[in-house]
A = this chain, B = another copy of it.
Amino acid sequence: MGISMVKITLNEGAGGEAMQKFIKDLVSRIELKKTPDGSGLDKLEDAGILKIGDTNIALTTDTYTVNPIFFPGGDIGKLAFCGTVNDLAVMGAQPLALSLAFVIEDGMEKKDVERIMDSINEQSKLSGIPIITGDTKVVEKGKVDKIIINTAGIGVVKYDVSNYWAKPGNIMIVSGSVGDHGLSLLAKRFGFESKLESDCTCLWNVIKELIKIDGIYSMKDPTRGGLAACLNEIAKKSNVGIYVREENIPVKAEAKVIGETLGVDPLQTACEGRLVLSVDRYSVDKIMKILKKFNQDTSIIGEVKETPKGKVIIETLSGGKRFLESPIGEAYPRIC
């Protein structure tokens, strides 16, 4: 898993340090990164913000390629719809509309595309968010692996929250068990018998409730690189130290077994429907009450301190302390 100076490798897309560096290099080549009164590409947030009249509008994009395309708890269509809804929602933005763009491989079964479309429709109805524009390309066999989906979305910012704003004294919360998405896909790919399902879901319905409460400083949905990458990103952007206790991080028994068998850490593996929040002490109870209504496994996992700046420290089950690092790369093919 070396990092090449000349060629792009899978590490550059794995959600870890190598990807951060690669993306920063790419972003540095674009000069116009935001509108005059907006925030943009250089922030490396889940969405860019621009002002239209007095309204702050969020724009986000994500491309989805996943194998298998149908997996326990979801499929690439649900993933693509919810992923973009979530990118808007964690910016405190109410999603208004999505775009949907397919690249389909010549020879793909029509019924599979229809099943994906129906799954997208179901999520759209559940969340009340329309798809107002789209694009479809069909490419020759071997030019794409079955199907790639891009969704972009726009929303209206209703709540000011930022991964640059976690403050010492904040409490860290995770809204359910971690690693379910990544580990359930790996289980399916390797043919394991397992009841574990992806946590893939649209988070707008829960965030809609959360943003009625003051005191949320940062909010992020861990995806590639899992909880570990998510916490490290917040620690770096907010220039704080984050302390978590392993015993408080919810990991399902099935996830532990699959993770141990494959040598994959659930804390470094993708979620697709969880929230990581840093909130002030006075709001914790109200926020926990809302989150527990949606998921009983919601847990306070730690707190924010002044130092060590940009680092995450985990108190392990054995009582030891170590840095919880972002994965450098991933040892297995794409799962989100």
Q: Are A13 and B136 in contact (CB under 8 A)?
A: yes
Q: Are A133 and B61 in contact (CB under 8 A)?
A: yes
Q: Are B52 and A121 in contact (CB under 8 A)?
A: no
A61-B152, A103-B148 known; A50-B132 Cβ under 8 A: yes
Give complex CA distance A99, B59 in Å.
7
Q: Are A8 and B107 in contact (CB under 8 A)?
A: yes
Chain B residues, CB < 8 A from A125: 31-32
Chain B residues, CB < 8 A from A7: 107-110
A193 at the interface (CB under 8 A from B): no
Q: Which of A31-83 contact B (CB under 8 A)?
A: 31-35, 38-41, 45, 47-50, 52-55, 57, 59-63, 65
Give complex CA distance A129, B52 in Å.
15
Chain B residues, CB < 8 A from A114: 26, 29
Specify the chain B residue showing the minimal Cβ separation from A146: B143
A284 at the interface (CB under 8 A from B): no
**Looking at chain A's contact residues, is the secondary structure mostly helix, strand, loop, or mixed?**
mixed
From A22, A102, A108, A152, residue with most partner B Cβ within 10 Å? A152
Give complex CA distance A106, B65 in Å.
14
A186 vs chain B, min Cβ distance (A) = 15
Q: Are A63 and B137 in contact (CB under 8 A)?
A: yes
Q: Are A52 and B57 in contact (CB under 8 A)?
A: yes
Specify the chain B residue showing the minimal Cβ separation from A128: B32
A126 vs chain B, min Cβ distance (A) = 10
A113 at the interface (CB under 8 A from B): yes
Q: Are A131 and B41 in contact (CB under 8 A)?
A: yes
A48-B132, A61-B150, A117-B29 known; A9-B138 Cβ under 8 A: yes
Report the interface size class on chain A. 35 or more
Q: Are A106 and B8 in contact (CB under 8 A)?
A: yes
Q: Are A124 and B30 in contact (CB under 8 A)?
A: yes
A8-B108, A61-B134, A104-B13 known; A129-B32 Cβ under 8 A: yes
Chain B residues, CB < 8 A from A133: 40-41, 45, 47-48, 59-61
Chain B residues, CB < 8 A from A134: 23, 27, 41, 61
A281 vs chain B, min Cβ distance (A) = 33
Specify the chain B residue showing the minimal Cβ separation from A329: B138
Q: Which of A124-163 contact B (CB under 8 A)?
A: 124-125, 128-140, 142-145, 148, 150, 152, 154, 156
A253 at the interface (CB under 8 A from B): no
A29-B121, A61-B150, A156-B52 known; A34-B130 Cβ under 8 A: yes
A17 at the interface (CB under 8 A from B): no
16 A/B residue pairs, CB under 8 Å, sorted by A = A4-B110, A7-B109, A8-B109, A26-B114, A35-B96, A35-B130, A39-B132, A50-B96, A52-B156, A57-B154, A63-B101, A63-B137, A137-B334, A142-B142, A143-B334, A150-B150
Beyond A12-B138, A50-B132, A99-B152, 19 additional contacts (C-beta under 8 Å) are: A7-B108, A8-B104, A8-B108, A11-B138, A23-B134, A29-B114, A32-B125, A48-B132, A49-B132, A53-B53, A59-B133, A60-B99, A60-B133, A63-B103, A103-B148, A139-B145, A139-B333, A143-B144, A143-B145
